[in-house]
Structure 1
Amino acid sequence: MKQIAVFSDVHANLPALEAVLEDIAQRNIQEVYCLGDLVDFAPWGNEVIEVIRSRGIPCLMGNHDERIAFGHPVIPLPHHDETETAHRQTAIAYSKECITPANKEWLATLPKQISFTHEGYRVQLVHGSTRSNEEYIYVNHPEEDLEKMFRDVQADTIIMGHTHLSYHRITRNGYHAVNCGAVGRSKEADRAATYSIISLTAEGPTIKIVKLPYDNIQVANAIYQSKIPDFYGHFLLGK
């Protein structure tokens, strides 16, 4: 059996990342992947990057990583109101100011996708979708299009992040779509640091979604004491 841990969307939340990595270590899982979005919304962007780099964890380029690495402008999202859009622009500007040149250079080298095969079973890792690191694939995504993505990359399982909402969905033809949730800025009611464990055998995958508590009050207070908008501290506390 091959066992891997996959996490995504740390968003500069070091305490949440530490909780996830400690849990993975306690389970003695040796193969670990990150699907990107290491930066923005909490104060520890450089520290998070340095943890991933120092541990040699293979990592994808999330859309936030790409924006910080290359200085791309912030484009308003249709599901954000004017208030959240303004807060988002301020938070991303903070990252652009604070992330070191060396860490920006490293972010620029990250791949958009990773794939591997175990006993003929192919797994594709993406941030948003197989087409873009900015595309949102929710649990209710149209079945026909979802299966087309599997066929296009010839994968049996696709593991995603980006939406900050975890799920495991099996399509009518037996493909496994997994969203591993978010480590640092979960949009689920519990706000837990969330990741996935995938166990691969000759019979196929077993998927486990793991939710961990962490000191979100500490993170919120750190946000309040920084130039990052209080909006993101309130979000972590469910306000």
Structure 2
Amino acid sequence: MKIVLFSDVHANLPALDAFFKDIDTKEYDAIYCLGDLVGYNVWPNEVIAEIRRRKIPTIAGNHDIKVKKLRVDQHLNDEEALVNYAYHLGTETSRQYLKNLPCHIKVEFKQNDLPLNLMLVHGSNRSVSEYVLEDLDETYVLELMQESGAHIFCCGHTHKPYHRVIESEGQHLHVINIGALGKPKDGDVRGCYVMLTIDENSSLDNPDSITVEFCRVEYDVEKAAKAVEESPLPNEFADRLRKAY
């Protein structure tokens, strides 16, 4: 089973288009999005439309939830309103879609009659805005995984990809941050997604039997950055795309 995982598109249509062009050349069995379709750029409706057209299971990120809470009639006359400009671009159809996204997705496998559970969250199973960083205390991470019943815990939100294996009671548990497709923060401007492989030989006894491949996708960063600069959004958002911070 090859599973494509991506997160944090942030209304970056050029990055999303490049991502689909890339995965359309590959073999995979399932695909999931870990949230934050909107924010920071000007194409939320186009991004949502393409996700829906492809019928990709998606969970709500903190920016998707923010759209539900903002008043659509807010006047853009101060700095905070300009930062929030991206959230006011959504059509009513897009807003309704975001309102109905689930908070997490759990996929349960049986490998050699033993459970192997995949948990997909945006921040964590405790909070959509929690940062599960690579150096987060191991005991705390294990608590998150035990609460959610996860053997493979996949998250986004930090925009910094990593794969961490934690040994607990003879099992090797996997924590995977997907990184960001549309707004990387790890110094690499290319979009990032994950190809996760779980097959009949995958086992929690062998940490190498579950394969995590981080894939990078080149896209037209300048097009995305200029779209920001030509909008009421802060120019800093364009700088972040160009420098991936």
Same fold (TM over 0.5): yes
Q: Please give the residue correspondences for 1:147-186 in structure 2 after superposition, counting only pairs within 5 Å.
A: 147-173=142-168, 174-186=172-184
Checking the alignment, whether the CA contact within 8 Å between 2:12 and 2:47 is kept in structure 1 is yes
Tell me, what secondary structure is at the counterpart of 2:216?
Answer: strand
Equivalence for 1:137? 132
In the alignment, structure 1 residue 33 sits paired with structure 2 residue 32: yes
Equivalence for 1:8? 7
Equivalence for 2:195? 197
Equivalence for 1:114? 105
Equivalence for 1:70? 69
Checking the alignment, whether the CA contact within 8 Å between 1:34 and 1:60 is kept in structure 2 is yes
Tell me, what secondary structure is at the counterpart of 1:169?
Answer: strand
Checking the alignment, whether the CA contact within 8 Å between 2:42 and 2:89 is kept in structure 1 is no
Equivalence for 2:41? 42
RMSD: 1.6
- The counterpart of 2:82, out of the listed 90, 93, 96, is 90
Equivalence for 2:90? 99
| CA apart distance, 1:87 | 6.4
Partners of 1:70 and 1:4 in 2: how far apart? 32
Partners of 2:177 and 2:8 in 1: how far apart? 11
Structure 1 range deviating more: 25-34 or 36-45: 25-34
Tell me, what secondary structure is at the counterpart of 1:186?
Answer: coil
| CA apart distance, 1:148 | 1.0
| CA apart distance, 1:71 | 2.2
**TM-aligned CA distance change 1:116 to 1:235, over 3 Å:** same
Stretches of structure 1 that go unaligned for 5 or more consecutive residues are: 73-85
- The counterpart of 1:229, out of the listed 225, 234, 241, is 234
* Matched residue count: 224
Q: Deviations over 1:53-88 (max 9, x none)?
A: 11100000000000102328xxxxxxxxxxxxx967
**TM-aligned CA distance change 1:121 to 1:88, over 3 Å:** farther
Checking the alignment, whether the CA contact within 8 Å between 1:87 and 1:231 is kept in structure 2 is no
Partners of 2:154 and 2:20 in 1: how far apart? 18
Q: Deviations over 1:118-161 (max 9, x none)?
A: 22311000000111110001000100010111111111101000
Checking the alignment, whether the CA contact within 8 Å between 1:70 and 1:108 is kept in structure 2 is no
Higher alpha-carbon Rg: 2
Provide runs of 4+ in structure 1 moved above 6 Å: none
Q: Deviations over 1:91-143 (max 9, x none)?
A: 32x12321111110110000000011122311000000111110001000100
Checking the alignment, whether the CA contact within 8 Å between 1:40 and 1:91 is kept in structure 2 is no
Structure 1 range deviating more: 206-215 or 158-167: 206-215
| CA apart distance, 1:28 | 2.2
Partners of 2:135 and 2:189 in 1: how far apart? 21
Q: Structure 1 vs Structure 2: percent identity of aligned residues?
A: 34
Tell me, what secondary structure is at the counterpart of 1:171?
Answer: strand
Tell me the TM-score normalized by structure 1.
0.89
Equivalence for 1:215? 220
**TM-aligned CA distance change 1:88 to 1:218, over 3 Å:** farther
- The counterpart of 1:126, out of the listed 105, 121, 137, is 121
